[in-house]
Amino acid sequence: MTDQAVGWELELPPLINGTNDSPSQAIITWKWCISRSYSSPDDIQNATVEAIRWFKNVEGLEHEFLVVTVQRRGRGTATLRLERRPSRDHVDNITDDFVGNPEVLEQLPAAIHEQLRRDVEQEKKALSRHVVKIPDKKENVQNNDTIVQVRNSDGQLSCCFEKVSLVATYSFETPFPLRDLVFAASEVSQHSDAYLLLLQQCYWFCRTIVGVIVKNYPCAIEEGPVFKASGTYTVKALRFPPLQINQDNSNEVQTISDKFKESIQRHDEEILKKYMDGAGGKAIEKERADKEEQRRKDAEERVRRVCKERDELNEKVKQMEEERERRKQTQAGSFN
């Protein structure tokens, strides 16, 4: 199996059977796999991101997720779904840890508090279908930041259908490597590894990834029907205004963006070294040897050409001398 074939298997979680999506893979694991799948700087261009769409569920906790369109060199497109959910072990109750800001929770009207509980119960059902189960983490509520390759171009999971609306579409003027998206998502995931309902949840996860990417790659932004509702939670059937759960944080995005660029630079250096120590170094050595051999052949050819030109010149000189001698003899005979 070639390095490139291995790379393809590691770049995208593989689809299962003929109808199912890929298994859900932790983003940190995805980064580990993809960072080791390249053998040369050129391999990084195997898969590029053309567009990112940001969706919002219209029910329950109004879960938000990202759908990424990937162009694979020589293999068409693929659709990836990135999202943050809590560990299903930690949503039995809306605890202080789960909310992340108990003071805010206490200030909510009882009706909103009750609605939150009902929506969390609905979230538990969703978690039981497609979220990776991970060990307990006592100090806070562990997140599940995952990537799934889906068959549905709108990011719908094969195990369930969600009612969603589009927040925004980001189309990139120049497609950028999928590797860069993976590293950006990983930096965001590591920046906060806790799921906090009112602080660092799916809203924060989507907004922050998009913020880091847009900061580093030019794109056209098309607002969707619920663009202004991103980061909000609506209490159904009650006349309460939507709760603004998450907003832009430019300082946080800048901090993560700086770490992201550093990680990309380190990885570029690692891949270049790997390439030079392996096939790249051999290729360069072969190219050097080939050039040296060509220079030797060219030099030999120049010597042969000079020798040939010298011989031809000598022959012409000889012929001219012979012709001059014949003329002298002819003139001497005429005088006699």
The full set of domain ranges for the chain reads: 3-264, 278-336
Question: What pTM value is reported for the model?
Answer: 0.71
CA distances from residue 333 to 3, 257, 284, 323, 330 in whole angstroms, order as listed: 87, 102, 73, 15, 5
pLDDT at site 9: 55
At residue 267's C-alpha, the angle toward residues 263 and 270, to 5°, is 145
pLDDT at site 317: 86
pLDDT at site 185: 96
Say if residues 90 and 98 touch (Cβ distance below 8 Å). Answer: yes
d(CA 54, CA 192): 20
| Signed CA dihedral, 12, 270, 175, 248: sign only | positive
d(CA 240, CA 233): 10
Say if residues 45 and 176 touch (Cβ distance below 8 Å). Answer: no
Q: What is the pLDDT along the chain (336 residues), one digit of tens a residue?
A: 333 333 445 688 888 877 789 888 889 999 998 988 898 999 999 999 999 999 998 877 788 999 999 999 888 899 999 998 776 555 554 444 444 445 555 656 666 666 666 666 666 666 555 544 444 444 333 447 899 999 998 899 887 788 899 999 999 988 899 999 999 999 999 886 554 454 447 888 999 999 999 999 999 999 999 998 887 766 665 565 555 565 678 898 999 999 999 999 999 999 999 888 877 777 777 778 788 889 889 888 998 998 998 988 888 888 888 888 888 787 777 666
SS3 content of the chain, % helix, strand, coil (to 5): 50, 20, 30
pLDDT at site 203: 85
